[in-house]
Chains A and B, each alone.
Chain A
Amino acid sequence: MPVRTDEWEIDVISAGLQKCMGGPPGSAPITISDRAADFIFSRRKVESGIRRDDISDGPRPFIRSNYFDLSMVMDYWSEKRLNHHTEATSMLYAARECARLALEEGLEKRFERHVAAGKAMSEGLRALGLTLYGQDAYRMSNVTGVYIPEGIDGERVRARMRDEYQIEIGTAFGPLVGKIWRLGAMGYNAELHKVRLTLAALKAVLDSER
């Protein structure tokens, strides 16, 4: 289930670079339908220091943030070039290159690569005798939850993975703290050899902890 904005008819979708796009955190791609943009422009309130005759305020209650006022941000990204914030130049370069890489690879091939890596991760974890968290039918391809075996100190295993193998695996939040690890294989790291390295290191650490 890749992100299919128009097919889903979702009005606004936002994302980041630091997961499947293979980039650093710090830029959030966003897409907005015309009907949502019309609504957002109806809440426009142009900052007083940059007011101009060709951009007027909208009739609805104005957006309660300056930085996150998408009407001004869209006016910046349009031919109006309203001088809102200063675009984060290096992150623009990064985002542009992330998209170029994804399209050069081909979106379908990229989805397949993530599916293959995710499948190798979940099958490999099961082959180690571990139990996966969640439902197979709705499991994301790029991040896999796995129960920490009884009698094993999850944080100690994570620390040993980092210190002895230079591999990071994830902890958990809320009701899942101390219960599961989360293992990702996404973007630049959605590769079979990186999954296998991770599984081999996890096996070695678990074997010596038991």
Chain B
Amino acid sequence: MSSFFGEINPPQRLLMGPGPINVHPRVLRAMGADMLGQFDPEMTDYMNQTMTLYRQVFMTQNRWTFLIDGSARAGIEAALTSLIEPGAKVLLIRSGRFGMLLGEIAERLGADIATIDLEWGQVATLSQIEAALAEHRPAVFAAIHGDTSTTTAQPLEGVGALCRKYGALSYVDATATLGACRYAQMSGRST
């Protein structure tokens, strides 16, 4: 028995949840452009341009700024898989679904996991983070910037410097915040 389905024709729905959201029409048009050979000069030019553009979006001079093919989780998994050696000590903040995901991935990588466990929706203070870094001396520190499961953003000012002081490489997932996040209520800690 054969099945035949209609053309993709979704309703005009307004996506006002935690994502995905409606895509800008210019982005949809760009996706309709034709393929290029993998190493054609036009293709590698587009790759280089994309690196330059994302350095600005990430507010960084990092040479190594590029794309991982896959959803946001592919970025998380690529980072953690490449940073965490089997048996390495890893320190995580867990205060929502996505902090727990970091732990889940680290566990699969055979990490020796230490955690700052907080009630969902709480944030870790700089002194809590420093105390945990000093106690556990992790090779890798990982946290979520904006955890959509709790609609809460973890302040990160000063965290990178602390990680360097204690010899840890630091990782942050900014899936929900890249391109936007400031605290909604414009408290004193907004920048």
A residues with a Cβ closer than 8 A to B are 1-16, 18-37, 39-40, 43, 60-61, 63-65, 67-71, 73-74, 77, 81, 83, 85-103, 107, 110-111, 114-115, 118-119, 121-122, 133-145, 162, 165-170, 172-176, 182-190, 194-195, 197-198
User: What 8 A-B pairs come out closest when comparing CB atoms?
Assistant: A28-B75, A16-B72, A9-B160, A14-B75, A170-B17, A20-B180, A15-B178, A99-B53
16 further contact pairs, Cβ within 8 A, besides A5-B60, A110-B180: A2-B180, A10-B159, A12-B169, A13-B173, A29-B54, A30-B68, A30-B78, A37-B63, A87-B67, A95-B54, A96-B53, A98-B179, A139-B151, A140-B183, A174-B96, A189-B15
Would A188 and B121 be within 8 Å (CB), given that A30-B66, A70-B82, A140-B176 are in contact? no
Q: CB distance B69 to A91 under 8 Å?
A: yes
Q: Give the complex CA separation of A133 and B120 in angstroms.
A: 11
Which of B65, B170, B185 is close to A29, meaning CB atoms less than 8 Å apart? B65
Q: B36-50: contact bitstring with A at CB < 8 Å (1 yes, 0 no)? A: 101100011011011
Q: Is B20 located at the chain interface by the 8 A CB criterion?
A: yes
Complex interface: chain A residues within 8 A of B79 (CB): 12, 14, 30, 70
Q: CB distance A142 to B181 under 8 Å?
A: yes
Complex interface: chain A residues within 8 A of B67 (CB): 27-30, 87, 91-92, 95
B residues with a Cβ closer than 8 A to A are 11-24, 26-27, 29-31, 33, 35-36, 38-39, 43-44, 46-47, 49-51, 53-79, 81-83, 85-86, 96-97, 109, 120-121, 123, 145-146, 148-157, 159-161, 163-164, 169-187, 189-191
A sample of 8 cross-chain residue pairs with beta-carbon separation below 8 angstroms, ordered by A number, consists of A1-B153, A9-B164, A11-B163, A12-B83, A14-B174, A107-B57, A121-B184, A189-B15
Nearest chain B residue, comparing its CB with the CB of A183: B16
Complex interface: chain A residues within 8 A of B148 (CB): 19, 140, 143, 182, 184
The winner among B43, B121, B189 for most chain A CB atoms within 10 A is B121
- Distance (Å) between the CB of A163 and the closest chain B CB? 10
Q: Give the complex CA separation of A187 and B182 in angstroms.
A: 13
Would A15 and B170 be within 8 Å (CB), given that A74-B64, A92-B47, A182-B151 are in contact? no
Q: CB distance B182 to A19 under 8 Å?
A: no
Complex interface: chain B residues within 8 A of A3 (CB): 57-59, 145, 174, 177-179, 181
Complex interface: chain B residues within 8 A of A183 (CB): 16-17
